[in-house]
Structure formats: C-alpha cells, structure tokens
Amino acid sequence: MNAIVIARDLVKRYGTLTAVDGISFEIQKGECFGFLGPNGAGKTTTIKMIHCVSPVTSGTLIVNGLPAHIDNRAIKMLTGVIPQEITLDVDLTVRENLAVFANFFDISKRDAKKRIAELLKFVELEEKRDRKIDELSTGMKRRLLVARALLNHPKLIVADEPTTGLDPQAKHLIWQRLRQLKTEGATLILTTQYMEEAQQLCDRIVIMHRGKILKQGVPTQLVAEEIGREVVEIRIGQDEDEKIIGHLSAMSCGHERVGDTLYFYCRDGHDLMKKLVELNLPSYLSRPATLEDVFLKLTGRGLIE
Amino acid sequence: MNLSYRVAYVFFRNLVSYKRFVVPTFLVSLIEPLFYLITFGIGMGAYMGYFGGKPYLYFLVPGVVVSSVMLSSTFECLYGTFVKIVHEKLYDSLIATPVSAEDAVAGDIAWASFRGLVSGSLMIIVAVFMGIFPVSMLSLLLLLVLMIFVGILFASLAMIITSFAPSFDFFNYYTELIITPMLFFSGVFFPLDRFPPWMKTLSQFMPLTHAVKISRAVFSGSINSGLAINFLVIFVLEVIAFAIGLKTMKRRLIK
C-alpha cells in the first residue's frame, strides 16, 4: 500500500453548515495532489483535517497509517504546513521565527542551527536572517513560511494557497522550491485557486465545489476529457446565439454562453474557425483549452448541449 | 486535556519575543507601584498614623504587591493573548506543530504568571528602597511562591474572558466591572473591618481578598493556621479557572 492519506466518506460540519460533504480520495506517497475549487468549496477545511488541526465530523481519515485527530502529535511531527495566511511571529526576527518553531518539533539547538542555515539558503533569505518580519516583502514572508514548514524534514507538506498575492518572480521561486521538494521524495498536498499553479505542480487533482468532489484525475487528461483541445471565444450579444449556433451545429463542439461571450469547446477548432471567418464576426479568438475551462465548466454554469 | 512538556516551548517563545519589550515594560512595572506607594503610602499614610504599631506602608505594601501580580497577569492574558490569537493568528500555526492547543494556552498562562511575578518582585524592590522589608528571607520566599499562585489564578480567569471576547473593547467590562472593584474591596488600601456586613461578605467572594490576607500575614511573619482556608480558596479557584480557560480557549482555537 502506497497511499499516505486515505479519506473515506469524510464529513466536516460547522454547526449547521456542511463544509465537507462525504468525500473520498487517496493521496499516494511522493505525488503532488491538488485541491481546486472556488472560495468556500471545502479545500482548506479538508487539508486542516489532514494535518490534524480540525476534528473530523464523520468518516475515516488515515494519514501515514494513523487516524487523523487533533491530538495526534505523531502526524504533526512528520507534517510541514505552509498556511494560507501569513502567520509569522512579528515580534521575532527571521532566524528567531525558525528557531522557536524548531523548538516546537523537539529539534536540538545544534541541529536547529544547521537546519536553519540550510533553509535560509534554500529560500534565499540568508541576507535577511536578522531582520524583523515587518521589514520583509510579501514574497519574502511567504518564502519564510516555506522554510518554517520544512524545519522538521516533513514527509508530508501541506500548502494552502502558497502563492496568494505574489508577483510572478516570487511565485515561480516558490513553485521551483516545491517541485524540488517533491523530487526529494516528499508528498505535497496543495490547495489553489490558480489553475496555472495546479498545472505546474500537481500530478493529480480533485475539483471541489460546495463540499463535494466533482472530478478527480490528471490535469491534462481532465482538460482533454471535459473540454477538448481548443476553446473558441466569440464576443457577441446574446440575441445572435441562435443564428451562430445554427451555423456551427455541424462542428460537434459543445457551447456555453457566459455574460458577453459565447464559448465553443472543440477537439479540433480548425473547421469552426474557418466558418467564423466566413461569417465575418467582429470579435473572436481560438486558444488551447486549460484547466481553468474545466474548473469554470464544473463549478460555474453547466454545459448546454 | 492534552498537556505536555511543550508548555515550556511556548513560554520560551514568549521570553524570546519579550526581550525587545523588557525596558518599556519594566518601566511601567516600576512606575505603577511607585505611584501607589507614593500617593497612598506617603500622601495618605501621613494621615493614617500607625497600623498595628507600624507605619501605613507596612500595611499597604503586601496588598499592593499581590494586586500588581493580579493586574499584570490579567492584562497579559487579555491583551497579550488576544493579539497573538486574533490579530497575528500565531496560534493557528503553532497548533499545527506537535504543540497542542492546551500546551499553547497553558504556556501563555505560565508566561502571564511569570510577568506577574516580575511585577510583584519589582514592587518589593521599590518597597525595600523605601525602607519596607519583609520580615525574613523565608517570608520573602513564601511571598514569591504566593505570587506564582496568584498569577496563575488571574491569568486563567483572564484566559476565560479572552476565549469568548469578540474584540478588545470587551475587556473593558472585565477590567472595569471586576478587576477595578476588586482592587478596592479586597482590603489592599484599608482594612475591611468597618465595611457593613454585606460588603464584608461580598469581599470574601473576591479572590484578591484572600491573596491580600495571606500576603500581609507572610510579609509581617504572623502566619497562622487560619490562612489555610484563604490558600485553599485561591488554589481551588485556580484549578477550576485553569481547566475552564484551557477548555474554552481550545474551543476558540480548534474549529
């Protein structure tokens, strides 16, 4: 058995609100597993149960062979958490932040010193080691959160929207580091709203909505199965829909109207584009299908066929 | 309840962060007792004559020592803990490590009690400079032990308040309606003998009354077996408040 996390009919309720509604999944050792979903989908709640800071309402959740439970220190010992919010200790310097956390994991002073030096190098914060937290940029703070999560050499790394609010440089640095950790054998669990992030990092994903898993699979396969290869967007008023759809009905592409845009999802968009040129429409474009299309299709409006 | 030796780690975290605030907080801890001792002790004391054959300051100092422990441990677990939990979300990341919610909360209570001990000790140092000494080294030692108990008690009570406080403003109810009256009804500044009976009864319900009584007896070396009751009140209340504080705060931290 190679699964590090096994969830069966996992439920989480806060009072009358059901945040996670009977989901089942397995996360294999060494993979990067992503939870995607809009705000309030239940992703953060799910991973909080995995890393044992939120109790399970019902169902089973096994992490590294142990039942997940808020008092399960053994699971916490082997987990590193990169939180969504910047929860650094603002009263302390960069190095003190790491030293205090190393202490929490029972790491000896001497080992901690060595590990902290390694990690500051890993996240490129060596120069800032004696700075206070307020003096760091958001990107630096997030990198420090990554370093903090790695102090205990975690087997399981849980990252909750780790690149929120970062500029592209900072974002790519974090992605590189996370990929590097995976190649070193760690299992990575990620939640994100950025489809690009999921495509960059995840081997497998689940798309969550209103506490349920709508789909799970390999990102590229999900795109191919759910959308096809290409998406054609036509910016045009709704009153023209019937006419255009009539013209394009032979192309066997799915279509959807969202706001001011009519979308066509195709295996091959060539013929459709030719037809559009013939129709001489004012504004349209063809682009490769992405995970974002899958996401919007599943969590937004249903496909009209 | 899931307590472990990691309480010490949380205490240590507070100690590391505290070193930046040492000077300002020491100054505050020094100015406050000076204020009490000068205004009440010297100003009012001049009109009070002798209390049981000794100057008024001998009456005042032991009371002010425990009330300063009460105040600083209370404030630490109100404002200090609230900032760490709500504003900085520090405890959210802390409980994701092997440190449990109970460890974190108990660590803060231990820290607040330490702050109380520091304040009370500073008060004694100031008193010593004014020529007011505890009767013996043993009495000084017992005072320090008492301060730890009093600190844990008021830190735990404050922790209960913090566990359901929606905002800073809420603390005003507690400090203005409970803590401040306690300061005046517990026999810190004057004896309770001349209170009408109902006020005397009321004051028996205030934990500070019992702390002041023990402190005064220890300070002057007139320890008697009757104090066991006072100590028992403090101890029992403390155990209960500690257990409730841990439980309610855990509820706030873990959802």
Handedness of CA A84, A90, A93, A96 (dihedral sign): negative
Element (H, E) at A235: strand A230-235
In angstroms, what separates the C-alpha of B203 from chain A's closest C-alpha? 40
The answer as to whether A220 is a domain residue is: no
Q: Which residue of B has its CA nearest to A57?
A: B255
Q: Do B254 and A55 touch (CB under 8 A)?
A: yes
Element (H, E) at B155: helix B137-164
CATH code at position A247: 3.30.70.860
A13-54 per-position pLDDT tens digit:
998 999 999 999 999 999 999 999 888 889 999 999 999 999
Band the pLDDT of A289: cuts 50, 70, 90: confident
User: A71 and A7: one domain?
Assistant: yes
The answer as to whether A65 is a domain residue is: yes
Q: Which of B13, B254, B255 sits opposite A100 (nearest CB)?
A: B13
Give CA–CA dist B71/B75, Å, rounded: 6
User: A136 and A249: one domain?
Assistant: no
The answer as to whether A256 is a domain residue is: yes
CATH code at position A104: 3.40.50.300
Q: Which residue of A has its CA nearest to B255?
A: A54
The answer as to whether A297 is a domain residue is: no
pLDDT at position B103: 95
A101-119 per-position pLDDT tens digit:
999 999 999 999 999 999 9
Q: What is the DSSP letter of A197?
A: H
Handedness of CA A28, A34, A39, A41 (dihedral sign): negative
pLDDT at position B207: 94
Q: Do A91 and B17 touch (CB under 8 A)?
A: yes
HSE of B21 in the Cβ direction (CA atoms, 13 Å)?
A: 13
Q: Spell out the long-range contacts of A110-114 with Cβ–Cβ below 8 A and sequence spacing 24 or more.
A: A112/A151
The answer as to whether A301 is a domain residue is: no
Phi, psi of A235 (to 5 degrees): -85, 105
User: A92 and A162: one domain?
Assistant: yes
User: A139 and A273: one domain?
Assistant: no
User: A149 and A261: one domain?
Assistant: no
pTM summary value: 0.88
Q: Do B100 and A103 touch (CB under 8 A)?
A: no
User: A132 and A35: one domain?
Assistant: yes
The DSSP annotation for B78-130 comes to: IIIHHIIIIIS-HHHHHTTTT--HHHHHHHHHHHHHHHHHHHHHHHHHHHHHT
The answer as to whether A296 is a domain residue is: no
Give CA–CA dist A14/A247, Å, rounded: 50
User: A249 and A190: one domain?
Assistant: no
Give CA–CA dist B1/A289, Å, rounded: 52
Domain count, chain A: 2
Band the pLDDT of A268: cuts 50, 70, 90: confident
User: A48 and A142: one domain?
Assistant: yes
Question: Residue A284 is part of which domain span?
Answer: 228-288
User: A145 and A275: one domain?
Assistant: no
Domain boundaries, chain B: 7-253
Handedness of CA A266, A272, A273, A274 (dihedral sign): positive
The answer as to whether A303 is a domain residue is: no
Burial A108-133 (b: 16+ CB within 10 A, else e): eeeebeebbeebbebbebeebeeeeb
Mean pLDDT, rounded, of chain A:
89
Beta-sheet pairing, A254-258 with A261-266: antiparallel
Quote the percentage of chain B above a pLDDT of 70: 100
pLDDT higher than threshold 70 for residue A291:
yes
Best CA proximity match to A148, nearest among A76, A97, A202, A108 = A97
Using the structure block, give the residue that is written with the tokens 């970062």. A166
User: A141 and A271: one domain?
Assistant: no
Q: Write out the two tokens for A256.
A: 């959807």
> Which of A79-93, A155-169, B20-34, B177-191 shows the lowest mean pLDDT across its residues?
B20-34
Q: What is residue A260's three-state secondary structure?
A: coil
Residue ranges of chain B whose pLDDT lies below 50: none
Q: What is the DSSP letter of A302?
A: P
Distances (CA, A) of A125 to A90, A145, A280: 16, 11, 55
A70 touches chain B (CB under 8 A): yes
Q: What is residue B161's three-state secondary structure?
A: helix
User: A24 and A156: one domain?
Assistant: yes
Best CA proximity match to B167, nearest among B46, B85, B63 = B85
Q: Write out the two tokens for A153.
A: 């050499």
User: A84 and A165: one domain?
Assistant: yes
Q: Which of B13, B93, B254 sits opposite A87 (nearest CB)?
A: B93
Q: Write out the two tokens for A228.
A: 């096809």
A213-242 per-position pLDDT tens digit:
999 999 888 888 888 888 888 888 888 788
A135 touches chain B (CB under 8 A): no
pLDDT at position A103: 94
Give CA–CA dist A273/A286, Å, rounded: 8
Q: Do B97 and A101 touch (CB under 8 A)?
A: yes
The answer as to whether A299 is a domain residue is: no
Angle between helices B56-75 and B137-164 (to 10 degrees): 40
